């Protein structure tokens, strides 16, 4: 017979980290979401070696009080909700209080933070869930977190990491989506000492797209603006000649958050059906606003799949709107048959 053990907190955090933190890009996502929740206007993200050995996120947000700094790293500790009723009205991206506990249990973390109310900042260093040091430091308002040596203490998981370029590509993808969902925040992304992206943070979608994807991309876009009692749809679609070999540029945002939806992809592709050859895909950035009671978001930490209430008839409407817009631009060929 085996004796039953109660696991210690550090072991529990390592197990939980398996769910929240799959790869370096999951860390980048969690940390940027924390900066957004802290009302940052500017977020700088620096990574090296696909994020495996170095991720640094700096923001100018609210910061963390000195007295709270160690709490921030405890599992299920969060400033975003305090009781179960709050779950029904959370507006923040995080609320589970798991990210910092998980990340710091599988890497070496240094965090520096200062609030507007305090004279000096605070620095903590935590390796594998164990506090190494805590001291007062000079710091501007905001938070900087540096994550080094991911999975250094879980070698099996470290082996599952992919090449530096594959992990970097995942990180770039996450940053693009977060920047496109938050056009009023300036994102500055530095990869292996090279400046990759700096978004304007001026709330304008087109100049944000320009700063990420460049001139040719931006010039091929047609605006979409639609609203009814049930939902509104704004954003851009590409002229059919500007298409891509994969669906990575079919981006959907619902109520401000990036979502995956095979049905929305199908709705768009239906509109372009006769205009783009097989295995090529349009570029779209669609921002949908709808009463939250009409959507069902799978709330698993890493899932972004979404479902819409069928009564909205949103999917066929998307096809119609896109088709009409392409038609207005004379991009739908007008085939006349000879008698």
Return d(Cα 173, Cα 234) in angstroms, integer.
22
Nearer to Mg ion, 34 or 44 (CB): 34
Which x/- pattern, by CB under 6 A, does the window 71-110 give for ligand ADP? -x-----xxx-------------xxxxxxxx---------
Phi, psi angle pair for 143, to nearest 5°: -135, 135
Site for ligand ADP in 38-77 (CB under 6 A): 38, 59, 61-64, 72
Which does residue 268 bind out of Mg ion, ligand ADP, none, counting CB within 5 to 8 angstroms by kind?
Answer: none
Query: Which of 109, 90, 113, 92 has the alpha carbon at shortest distance from 101?
Result: 109
Least gap, CB of 92 to ligand ADP (angstroms)? 7
129-141: string of b/e by CB count within 10 Å (b at 16+)? beeeeeeeeebeb
- The 8-class DSSP code of residue 43 comes to E
- Binders of ligand ADP in range 215-234 (CB under 6 A): none
Q: Where are the alpha helices (DSSP H) in the chain?
A: 9-20, 24-37, 99-105, 155-159, 164-181, 205-213, 215-219, 262-271, 314-328
Cβ nearer to Mg ion, comparing 99 with 288: 99
Which is closer to Mg ion, CB of 13 or CB of 261? 13
Using the 8-state DSSP alphabet, how is residue 329 labeled? Answer: T
72 binds, among Mg ion, ligand ADP, none (CB under 5 to 8 A by kind): ligand ADP
Residue 107 CB, shortest distance to ligand ADP, in Å, is: 14
**Which CB sits closer to ligand ADP, 101 or 318?**
101
Specify which residues 247 forms β-bridges with: none
Q: Measure the CA dihedral 255/257/259/263, to 10°.
A: 20
Residue 213, burial from CB neighbour count under 10 angstroms (0-12, 13-18, 19+) = middle
Choose which of 13, 34, 58, 107 interacts with ligand ADP (CB under 6 A). 34
Q: Which residue is nearest to Mg ion (CB)?
A: 94
Choice from 26, 35, 58, 183 touching ligand ADP (CB under 6 A): 35
Of 34 and 181, which CB lies nearer to ligand ADP in the complex structure?
34
Residue with smaller CB distance to ligand ADP, 62 or 167: 62
Total binding residues toward ligand ADP, as defined by CB under 6 A:
22
Contact positions toward Mg ion, by CB under 5 A? 34, 94, 99
Tell me which residue has its CB nearest to ligand ADP: 94
Query: CA gyration radius for the chain?
Result: 22
Query: 3-state SS of 97-132?
Result: CCHHHHHHHCCEEEEEEECCCCCCEEEEEEECCEEE
> Which positions ≥6 away from 117 have C-beta within 8 Å?
65
Nearer to ligand ADP, 34 or 243 (CB): 34
Q: Which of 13, 105, 143, 319 binds ligand ADP (CB under 6 A)?
A: 143
Across the strands, what pairs with 325? none
State the binding partner of 210 from Mg ion, ligand ADP, none, CB within 5 to 8 A by kind.
none
Q: Which of 143, 125, 126, 124 is nearest to 45 (CA)?
A: 143
Residue 38: contacted member of Mg ion, ligand ADP, none (CB under 5 to 8 Å, by partner type): ligand ADP
> Which of 61/94 has CB closer to Mg ion?
94
Q: Which spans of this chain sit near ligand ADP (rule: CB under 6 A)?
A: 30, 34-35, 38, 59, 61-64, 72, 78-80, 94-101, 143
């Amino acid at each position: 017979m085996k004796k039953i053990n109660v696991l210690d907190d550090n072991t529990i955090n390592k197990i939980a980290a398996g769910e929240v933190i799959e790869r370096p890009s999951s860390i980048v996502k969690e940390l940027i979401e924390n900066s957004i929740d802290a009302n940052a206007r500017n977020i700088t993200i620096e990574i090296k070696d696909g994020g495996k050995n170095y991720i640094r996120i700096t923001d100018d947000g609210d910061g963390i009080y000195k007295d709270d700094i160690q709490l921030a790293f405890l599992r299920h500790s969060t400033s975003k909700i305090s009781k179960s009723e709050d779950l029904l009205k959370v507006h923040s991206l995080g609320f589970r209080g798991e990210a910092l506990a998980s990340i710091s249990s599988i890497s070496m973390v240094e965090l520096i933070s200062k609030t507007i109310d305090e004279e000096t900042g605070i620095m903590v260093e935590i390796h594998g869930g164990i506090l190494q040091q805590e001291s007062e430091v000079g710091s501007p308002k905001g938070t900087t977190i540096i994550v080094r040596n991911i999975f250094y203490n879980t070698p099996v998981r470290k082996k599952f990491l992919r090449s530096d370029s594959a992990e970097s590509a995942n990180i770039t993808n996450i940053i693009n989506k977060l920047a496109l969902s938050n056009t009023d925040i300036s994102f500055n992304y530095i990869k292996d000492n090279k400046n990759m992206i700096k978004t304007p943070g001026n709330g304008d979608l087109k100049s944000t797209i320009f700063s990420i994807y460049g001139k040719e991309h931006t010039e091929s876009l047609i605006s979409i603006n639609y609203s009814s009692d049930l939902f509104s749809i704004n954003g851009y679609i590409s002229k059919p000649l500007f298409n891509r070999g994969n669906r990575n540029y079919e981006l959907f945002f619902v109520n401000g958050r990036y979502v995956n939806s095979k049905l929305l992809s199908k709705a768009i592709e239906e509109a372009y059906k006769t205009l783009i050859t097989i295995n090529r895909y349009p570029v779209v950035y669609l921002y949908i606003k709808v009463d939250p009671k009409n959507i069902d978001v799978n709330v698993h930490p890493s899932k972004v799949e979404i479902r819409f209430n069928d009564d909205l008839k949103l999917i066929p409407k998307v096809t119609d709107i896109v088709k009409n817009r392409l038609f207005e631009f004379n991009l739908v060929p007008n085939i006349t048959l000879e008698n």
